[in-house]
């Protein structure tokens, strides 16, 4: 994991290709029963997490759903909805998450970033 070289590319970008300090997650949908869904809680599948016990590490971690829009807000096309991991969902590593405002339905299947903070290590 040691970088050789200066660490920076020309143009100010860091040399490493990926600068990820978040874990990738997929938005599966809303918390639901067969015929009713509850959009205030979303279900997220975090990469590499397959059991309920592994989810314990992620409890409380903050997440961000980042999306683009045509209209510029705060001088950027990118927008963000913040949320956090609340609890595991089932036995297989899916988690429930609550966001500041409910995730839009178009986000199903999209990427979500699960950060490593607030950290407890």
Partner 1 sequence: MAAKRKTPVKTRNPDLIRGVGKYSRSKMYHKRGLWAIKAKNGGAFPRHDPKPKAPAAAEKPPKFYPAEDVKKPLLNKRKPKPTKLRASITPGTVLILLAGRFMGKRVVFLKQLTSGLLLVTGPFKINGVPLRRVNQSYVIATSTKVDISGVIVDKFDDKYFAKEVEKRKKKTEGEFFEAEKEDKKKLPEDKKEDQKAVDASLIKSIEGVPDLKAYLAARFSLKSGMKPHELVF
Minimal distance, residue 47 CB to partner 1, in Å: 8
Among 11, 12, 48, 109, binds partner 1 (CB under 8 A): 48
Minimal distance, residue 36 CB to partner 1, in Å: 32
Whether the Cβ atoms of residue 22 and residue 117 lie closer than 8 Å to each other: no
Among 19, 33, 70, 71, binds partner 1 (CB under 8 A): 19
Task: Classify each residue of 30-62 as buried b or exposed e, where b means 16 or more C-beta atoms within 10 Å of its C-beta.
Answer: bbeeeeeeeeebbbbbbeebeebeebeebeebb
Q: Based on the shown chain and the rule CB under 8 A, indicate whether residue 66 belongs to the binding site for partner 1.
A: no
Q: Based on the shown chain and the rule CB under 8 A, indicate whether residue 12 belongs to the binding site for partner 1.
A: no
Q: Based on the shown chain and the rule CB under 8 A, indicate whether residue 54 belongs to the binding site for partner 1.
A: yes
User: Rounded CA gap, 8 and 10, in Å?
Assistant: 7
Encoding tokens for residue 101?
Answer: 């405002």
Q: Based on the shown chain and the rule CB under 8 A, indicate whether residue 49 belongs to the binding site for partner 1.
A: yes
What distance lies between CA 70 and its chain's CA centroid? 22
Binding-site ranges for partner 1 (CB under 8 A): 1-3, 7, 14, 16, 18-23, 47-49, 54, 57-58, 115-121
């Amino acid at each position: 994991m040691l970088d050789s070289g200066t660490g920076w590319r020309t143009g100010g970008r860091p040399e490493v290709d990926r600068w990820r300090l978040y874990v990738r997650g997929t938005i599966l949908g809303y918390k639901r029963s067969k015929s009713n869904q509850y959009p205030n809680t979303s279900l997220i599948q975090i990469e590499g997490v397959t059991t309920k016990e592994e989810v314990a590490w992620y409890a409380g971690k903050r997440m961000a759903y980042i999306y683009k829009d045509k209209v510029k807000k705060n001088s950027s096309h990118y927008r963000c909805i913040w949320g956090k991991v609340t609890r595991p969902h089932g036995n297989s590593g899916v988690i429930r998450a609550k966001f500041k405002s409910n995730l839009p339905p178009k986000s199903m299947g999209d990427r979500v970033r699960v950060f490593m903070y607030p950290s407890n290590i």
